Copies of this chain bind each other. A is one copy, B any other.
Amino acid sequence: MKIQILNMRQTRLLTALAALLLMPLALKATEVASPNGNVVLKFQIDNDGRPTYELSYKGKPVVLPSHLGLELARDKHASMKDDERDLLDGFKLVDEQTTEQDETWKPVWGETSTIRNHYREYAATIEQQWKTAHHPDRPGVKGMYYEDHSRTIILRFRVYDDGMGLRYEFPQQKDLNYFLIEEERTEFRMAGDHMAWWLPGDYDTQEQETQQTRLSQIRTTMEQAVNWGNSSVAVFSPTGVQTALQMKTDDGLYINLHEAACADYATMHLELVDAETKAFTTQLRGHTNAYTPNPKPARARLPQPFTFVSHLTPDATGLKGAMQTPCHTPWRTVIVSDDARDMLASNLILNLNEPCALDDVSWIHPTKYCGVWWEMIVGRGSWHYTNDYPSIKLDQIDWAKVKPNGYHKANNENVMRYIDFAAKNGLDQVLVEGWNVGWEDWANMWKRDVFDFVTPYPDFDIKALNDYAHAKGVKLLMHHETSSSTQNYERHMEQAFTLMNKYGYDAVKTGYVGDIIPRGDHHYSQSMNNHYLYVVKQAAKHHIMVNAHEATRPTGLCRTYPNLVGNESARGTEYEAFGGSRPDHTCILPFTRLQGGPMDYTPGIFVTKLSEWSQNPSWARITIAGSLALYLTMYSPLQMAADLPENYEKFDDAFQFIRDVACDWDESIYLEAEPADYITVARKAKGTDNWFIGGKCDEQGHTAVVKLDFLDKGRKYECTIYQDAPDAHYDTNPQAYVITKKVVKAGQTLRLKEAPGGGFAISLMAK
């Protein structure tokens, strides 16, 4: 920092000069169009020096003029003086760069074998300048002296034909070195009272049913929308929602708001400013003991109604982020089209992520698996081994002497049964939950040392079972439930991964049930997001694939770390045993949750009325044909056949589709789509000429019209159609399906009637 010593006359002169210099330059907007011109970004600095952008699609407004900026927290450490001003206003534009990029890259696994990344990029360098006055207490120095300060940030936009990404970049500089984020204030001002498919904003759970309402109805719908029964709940605002947020405008635009490449930064929610909004608020509700926030006056001005404003997940102290330059935020994304299918086909979020960071990816592979899981979720067996203790301390139990409860399901005999089933049906792996000691009392006790991840229960012979599986060409799939005690997991992780290597596991399902330990932290905070990625990176060193449940919703990081093969991060099939989900649930998830990456939805429930084989009165609102469709409509490189072997054996002809279906693809074509109504997709299995088609619909039923114009011309395909019987219905007749075989070729059209809550699945084997 330059320090000038001035006398009073100079001071006055300089003050006048400074006032002139700090006036914004001519307020000219810059326009940047996407490669095909459909999407147009406009950017300018407004009269208050606030960066402002707007977005349109084919001339229709997508985002009305919206401000960008961050409120910084005031830190009392002398070393943190950089944060004395917010990054909200007082900016001037000092540089602009527009460039174009067109490249094609190959994902390690995915919906297509190549992905085109074509965008126009606009980078606005903007600067804040200010002076601080000092009254020196030094002999011989008269008057004040001033210190010049300036802070430069870069707003980077990438404009695609199907949307836009924007992020804040903070170069390393004297006046912006370390800073704390009080709140990010990125605005998305909507052009009307759109229809929206939304989940309540929550710092700790994503496992809700999707609400379909107008924006103006979010507030009145919130209370009943919250999943108050989840193991960790922290709702912060009556108009706070999660991303990916799918909307549809009255003039037929589909708009999706989300984020890309969220690493070492808090997960973003969106708070809707509506007609009743008086101020930004954080009114934490839920049953977490964590964090009671102190409402602080926001320094960002309240925008117009129908504006979504970013709201980050806080840490235990209420702060949203601790940053060190050079650094940047994740990309804030807007996907837009007038065709709903483009929402599903978009690669915008993957494209905004960094290329693969792993040198060797040969060990990463898509996986079909079954598992010792559903019978515990439904309640016919237990993860835990004994009932004889009100609580367990791992180091104080002699497991060999403990009395088993008799219904522990991760036992040798049962696991062998699943291994046999997998081997017989060409499934790659068998997940076994409840194999390791500690399940007697594990969640929401604030119990830190809950699992050690290396000690099997006495009835789980880890060596013998892995040997048995390997001899049959099957692998076991590891399970690490952390119960959100992250410190405990990090302390044991290296040993746990070493154990996996020793016995030949190459994939782990992790879990984060319950409130976070260290207490006060939240599932989607900066530190937790750092933890999840730390696990993925450490796993990669051990050549282990990760499927993280209850972790933060994905933002495309699987491009950079393709061993992150799955996440749950939404309401999965387990809820079919907890009361069930609506029939349209799986027709929404691809528009929302799946935007950021694959979901381990664990589909494939054939016996949907659980009371048929258990005491559980819940039931899945889906037909068997609908269950088969999910292997296509819910893209994932990790697909489970979640039902019991004995249930599949009852419907072995339908199960043939699960045996056949691929989980890695060269090509994917979304044929039909409407949020919460129906999705139809055709996919070409990787390295083959075989196609698979799936269609899934809501409770209304749907008739899919599938034109086979994507097949190789002149080639014949053995076509097997698994569809709902005419009288099928998700409630009254879910097991009614018809299997038809015929030979088809390119150009033919298939009409497929989907029952309420049903669907269809087709395999097309090239002859």
Contact = CB atoms under 8 A, between A and B. Distances in A.
Given A317-B291, A518-B518, A180 B446 contact: yes
Chain A interface main SS type: loop
Contacts of A567: none
Contacts of A519: 315-317, 319, 322, 527
Interface residues of A, number: 49
A705 interface: no
A178 B445 contact: yes
A289 B518 contact: no
Given A315-B518, A490-B491, A172 B444 contact: no
Contacts of A172: 389-391
A494 interface: yes
Interface string A610-637: 0000000000000000000000000000
Interface string A426-470: 000000000000000101111110000000000000000000000
A173 interface: yes
A292 B390 CA distance: 35
- Point out which of A76, A173, A174 has the most chain B C-beta atoms below 10 A from its C-beta: A76
Contacts of A322: 445-448, 519
B319 A443 contact: no
Interface string A567-585: 0000000000000000000
A97 interface: no
A294 B317 CA distance: 12
B319 A317 contact: no
A131 interface: no
A80 interface: yes
A440 to B, nearest CB: 11
A655 to B, nearest CB: 38
Contacts of A80: 444-446
A327 to B, nearest CB: 9
A79 to B, nearest CB: 5
B77 A390 contact: no
Interface in A217-255: none
A303 interface: no
Nearest to A74: B289
Contacts of A319: 289, 519
Given A76-B287, A76-B288, A530 B324 contact: no
Contacts of A291: 316-317
Contacts of A79: 443-445
A35 to B, nearest CB: 33
A494 B498 CA distance: 14
A73 interface: yes
Nearest to A76: B287
A293 to B, nearest CB: 10
A744 to B, nearest CB: 54
Contacts of A98: none
Interface in A84-105: none
Interface string A690-723: 0000000000000000000000000000000000
Nearest to A290: B317
A77 B494 CA distance: 31
A482 interface: no
A487 interface: yes
Contacts of A294: 292
Contacts of A325: 391
A448 to B, nearest CB: 7
* Closest A-B pairs by Cβ, 8 of them: A316-B316, A322-B446, A316-B520, A76-B287, A317-B520, A178-B445, A77-B444, A177-B390
Interface of A: 73, 75-77, 79-80, 172-174, 177-178, 180, 287-292, 294, 315-317, 319, 322, 324-325, 389-391, 393, 441, 443-448, 487, 490-491, 494, 515, 518-521, 527, 530, 534
28 contacts: A75-B289, A75-B446, A76-B287, A77-B287, A77-B289, A77-B445, A77-B515, A79-B444, A79-B445, A80-B445, A174-B390, A177-B390, A178-B441, A178-B446, A180-B289, A289-B317, A289-B319, A315-B518, A316-B518, A317-B519, A317-B520, A322-B446, A322-B447, A322-B519, A324-B393, A487-B487, A494-B494, A518-B518
Given A76-B289, A289-B319, A487-B490, 9 more contacts: A80-B444, A80-B446, A172-B390, A172-B391, A290-B317, A316-B316, A324-B445, A325-B391, A494-B494
